[in-house]
Amino acid sequence: MPATNVLDEVEIVIDDIGRGGGNKPPSHDDHRGGGGDDGSHRPRRPNPAQSGQKKYQTAILLGMVSIFMFFMALSAAFLVRKTGKDWIQFRLPGILWLNTVVLLTSSLTMDLSRRRLALGDMVGFKSMWRATTALGLAFLAGQFVAWRELVARGYYVGSNPSSSFFYVFTVAHAVHLVGGIGALLYVLFRNFNKTRVSLSVASEITSYFWHFMDGLWLFLLALLYFGA
Amino acid sequence: MLQSSLRTSHKVVGLRYLWLALVSVFLGMIMSLIMRIQLMWPAVHFISGSGVSPASYSALTLLHGSLMVFVVLSCAPQAGFGGYFLPTQIGASEMAYPNLSRIAFWITVASVFGMVAAFFFEPQSGLTLWVAGVAVFCVAAVLNALNFMVTTIDLRAQGMTLPRMPITVWAWFINAILSLLIFSILVATCVLLLSDRIAATHFFSAAALSLGVPASSAIPAFPASWQRLFWFFAEAQVYIAVLPCFGIITHLLATFSRRPVFAHRAVVLALCAVGLLGFCIWGEHTFAAGMDPNSPLVFSLLASSLGIPASILLVSWFGTLWNANAKFSTAMLFALGFVSLFVSGGLSGLFLSAAQFRRAAQGDDFVTGHYHLVMGVAATFAMLAALFFWFPKMFGRALDERLGKLHFWLTFVGVYCLFMPMHWLGLISRLRHPANDLTAIFATHSPYGSLQTLVTFATVVTVAAQGIFVLNVAMSLVRTPQASRRNPWGATTLEWSSMAAASQVSHRSHITSHLVIHRGPYEFLPPNLRFGGDDFVPQDSPTPALPPTRPTAFGPGPEPLGST
């Protein structure tokens, strides 16, 4: 076994400290977080008011990843099950196309409302935000009409695998959209002077989720149109 | 009691997960004991008054597996120890979303109630309740994973760069990424299965009625679809169970060897590789489920590739231990026991990665022995090591070392006598009974020879040895807290630092504390140096960097990580 070497001299080296904290360096227009490596050798204290806001954005992005994986698992099951001999294709309810337009319009109004907020126009922000909420509710109502139409045509949840997947996909999307509408109402009615999250961050993360629900709906519609 | 249940402190929630896991592990052990005894004497009707039915035995197996895999292996190392120590080790005062931790815990409790209650129902309705319980558990796991990831990404203290994170934090973080992905998949799978069972859909079975034939006719179901979805989750789930254990063991070996982690960055990359590969080898479990003929080769290659990160971890552990003046506390013994069990169980895994062998070994004792060694017992050893290590931090007093060592040796010998012979039994039973049916297994097991007797005897002894552990915990908790020994192991990470404890202010905003990190996590000093009388430098100590540690057999010792 090799002998260990004993150091004869101890050479002390002063190391640079404060090589950067857990957050990214602040950008010129956003004083987000503290502790970036800005070239100084003094560790910067994190900004308490702003370092806590980034976690909401991180959380919503990760939440969207989780929801994406959920729907991807359903999609994988759909594609495999579609190869079965008992798969019966059916015509999608026509109202789904109108619902799609409604949902896309709601994304547009959402974006307009955030632009108004950025300009400081609270009245414009609120009116566009209410329009987004109303369009979201209209989408849900339209989905309900689509389900009723399918039931009237004799396609129930357990009728055949294709109709089962239609209901599972649309109900799962609607459930998540209800969560999105809850967030819209929260932003609309909450007094942000008393919360940790700011109005701009809350509206930002709600918009991420809403646009994600939009994109997800487009994907599901395409999947159902070409598959079911 | 209501106020107590609403407490959101990460330490309280973490401790609750550990208590839940402790209760579950003892319930699970009792079930395994019942199963062993039933196998030895199938004529004695332990489980149901009307006799041993395959359904009641299967229900017991399912419940044993559910409690051990979901509650003990998935919760304790991650939500338990991770929830308790992750914020502290990165210098945060709390988790990013404390309320989410609390909600996730109570959702987990509800899911466990559901899974346990399922045992007492009729098989079909019990299975539906069990699936619902699993789906609920997955929701809690996703919430926890999200919380862990946001905390690690956004709430690290000033100076806590990624290279300076302890290996435990890396393991919890990578595990959270994996958990977020695969528990979402299992929720979807459970939704489809529940829909089949409740709403009469046909996601996993043929829609016979739509073809105009009775449902009872012989139209094949779609079990392969379920198998693929389930194993996509379950294969990655075993790495969810073992990743935090890798982190804990690496951390403990470094601490008790008084050495930095050997090849620290390679270990981090190896943990990432384990997570990534674990996501890709679900086909390992579906060799017998009618896959594409070319796919077993791909999955076998990928599964065998797991040997690379596993080898990196082993080299790191041995490199850390090499020529070290190690302290063989009970925690260190359990950590070394983990390494031993991981190597033993991992070697049998190499055989199982071959498609032909796996197809032949499907469902017999060889597989049981393998995964119990590598997933069940090894992970349990890691948790026991963590408990002995962090007990002073959690409760202010250490567990008794003598009782701990006695508990370790009895358990270590016991689990080897229990699970190693199962490999041999699996091979032999395959020769005697190619068909995998319960009646044949009962017939084989009941008059079986000395190996079966040894396994049952070892089960009894091992389960009984855990009584020593219970006694140790009870006696230690009754003892007065020892205020003088804040850091009995001389550990370097923040949970042991007095400066860190003083600077962390617990307040409602739960933002990053005003702590500043100056160095890496495993700065231990050579014998000729001391810092305040200690042979280590805490991470938050602003003292100058130090010369390299003493050379190893592989060359000059690694640089302390304070400069990274």
Specify the pLDDT at position B48.
Answer: 54
CB atoms within 10 A of CB B329: 22
Residues of chain B with C-beta less than 8 angstroms from the C-beta of A63: 146
Contact residues for B181 (Cβ-Cβ < 8 A; gap 6+): A65, A66, A69, B236, B279
Residues of chain A with C-beta less than 8 angstroms from the C-beta of B158: 18, 21-22, 34-35, 43-46
* Gap between the Cα atoms of B385 and B405, Å rounded: 11
Q: How confident is the model at residue A32 (pLDDT cuts 50, 70, 90)?
A: very low
| Max CA pair span of chain B | 86
Which residue of A12, A19, A71 is in closest CB contact with B159? A19
Average pLDDT over every residue of B97-126: 91
* Gap between the Cα atoms of B358 and B303, Å rounded: 12
Specify the pLDDT at position B422.
Answer: 82
* Gap between the Cα atoms of B178 and B242, Å rounded: 12
pLDDT above 70 covers a percentage of chain B that reads: 78
Q: Which residue of A has its CA nearest to B546?
A: A12
pLDDT digit string, tens, across residues B220-245 = 456 667 888 888 888 889 899 999 99
* 8 Å CB contact of B550 and A4: yes
Q: What is the mean pLDDT of chain A?
A: 81
Q: Which CATH class is domain B2-203+223-478?
A: mainly alpha
| pLDDT for residue B378 is more than 80 | yes
| pLDDT for residue A5 is more than 90 | no
* 8 Å CB contact of B512 and A81: no
Amino acid identity, position A52: G
* 8 Å CB contact of A21 and B97: no
Which residue would you say has higher pLDDT here, B534 or B523? B523
Amino acid identity, position A57: Q
Most confident of A83-97, B18-32, B71-85, B119-133: B71-85
Looking at CA atoms only, how far is residue A100 from chain B in angstroms?
A: 24
* Gap between the Cα atoms of B91 and B548, Å rounded: 26
Which residue would you say has higher pLDDT here, B563 or A97? A97
Contact residues for A77 (Cβ-Cβ < 8 A; gap 6+): A165, B188, B189, B192, B203, B225, B229
Phi first, then psi, for residue B8 (nearest 5°) are -110, 0
Q: Do the Cβ atoms of A215 and A209 come closer than 8 Å?
A: no
Specify the pLDDT at position B324.
Answer: 86
For an interface test with A, the pick among B282, B508, B516 (most A C-beta atoms closer than 10 Å) comes out as B516
Point out the least confidently predicted range of A2-16, A43-57, B112-126, B178-192: A2-16
- Nearest CA to B171 out of B56, B279, B249 is that of B249
| pLDDT for residue A189 is more than 80 | yes
Specify the pLDDT at position B85.
Answer: 95
- Nearest CA to B281 out of B294, B297, B266, B300 is that of B300
* 8 Å CB contact of B203 and A23: no
Amino acid identity, position B100: L
Average pLDDT over every residue of B165-173: 96
pLDDT digit string, tens, across residues B293-318 = 677 777 777 777 888 999 999 999 99
Q: What is the mean pLDDT of chain B?
A: 81
Q: Would you kindly state where each structural domain of chain B is located, as residue ranges?
A: 2-203+223-478
| pLDDT for residue A194 is more than 70 | yes
Looking at CA atoms only, how far is residue A156 from chain B in angstroms?
A: 9
Whole-Å CA distances, B470 to B338, B403, B414, B461, B465: 20, 10, 17, 15, 9
| pLDDT for residue A102 is more than 80 | yes
Specify the pLDDT at position B41.
Answer: 74
* 8 Å CB contact of A46 and B511: yes
> 3-class DSSP state for residue B158?
strand
pLDDT digit string, tens, across residues B439-448 = 555 555 544 5
DSSP one-letter code for B524:
B
Point out the least confidently predicted range of A33-42, B183-192, B217-226: A33-42
Q: Which CATH class is domain A52-227?
A: mainly alpha
Which residue would you say has higher pLDDT here, B47 or B518? B518
Which residue would you say has higher pLDDT here, B398 or B346? B398
Tell me the residues of chain A between 139 and 168 that have a Cβ less than 8 Å away from chain B. 157-161, 164-165, 168
Specify the pLDDT at position A86.
Answer: 80
Which residue would you say has higher pLDDT here, B140 or A42? B140
| pLDDT for residue A10 is more than 50 | no
Q: Do the Cβ atoms of B159 and B90 come closer than 8 Å?
A: no
Q: Do the Cβ atoms of B258 and B535 come closer than 8 Å?
A: yes
DSSP one-letter code for A13:
B
Q: Which residue has the tokens 């090591």?
A: B385
Contact residues for B38 (Cβ-Cβ < 8 A; gap 6+): B44, B46, B47, B52, B57
| pLDDT for residue A67 is more than 80 | yes
Looking at CA atoms only, how far is residue B273 from chain A in angstroms?
A: 20
> 3-class DSSP state for residue B14?
helix
pLDDT above 90 covers a percentage of chain A that reads: 61
Helix count (H) and strand count (E) of chain B? Answer: 20, 0
Report yes or no: A2 at the B interface, CB cutoff 8 Å: yes
| pLDDT for residue B539 is more than 90 | no
Q: Would you kindly state where each structural domain of chain A is located, as residue ranges?
A: 1-51, 52-227
Specify the pLDDT at position B45.
Answer: 61
Which residue of A4, A18, A161 is in closest CB contact with B202? A161
Q: Supply the pTM of this predicted model.
A: 0.85
Specify the pLDDT at position B397.
Answer: 87
For an interface test with A, the pick among B201, B257, B494 (most A C-beta atoms closer than 10 Å) comes out as B201
pLDDT digit string, tens, across residues B252-300 = 999 999 999 999 999 999 999 999 988 887 766 665 556 666 777 777 7
β-partners of residue B534 are B531
Q: Do the Cβ atoms of B260 and B524 come closer than 8 Å?
A: yes
Q: Do the Cβ atoms of A136 and A180 come closer than 8 Å?
A: yes
Detail the DSSP E strand segments found in B20-118: none
Tell me the residues of chain A between 41 and 100 that have a Cβ less than 8 Å away from chain B. 43-46, 48, 51-52, 54-55, 58-59, 62-63, 65-67, 69-74, 76-77, 80-81, 84-86, 88
Q: How confident is the model at residue B162 (pLDDT cuts 50, 70, 90)?
A: very high
Specify the pLDDT at position B214.
Answer: 45
| pLDDT for residue B8 is more than 80 | no
**Tokens read off for B427:** 């091979």
CB atoms within 10 A of CB B81: 29
**Tokens read off for B413:** 């010998």
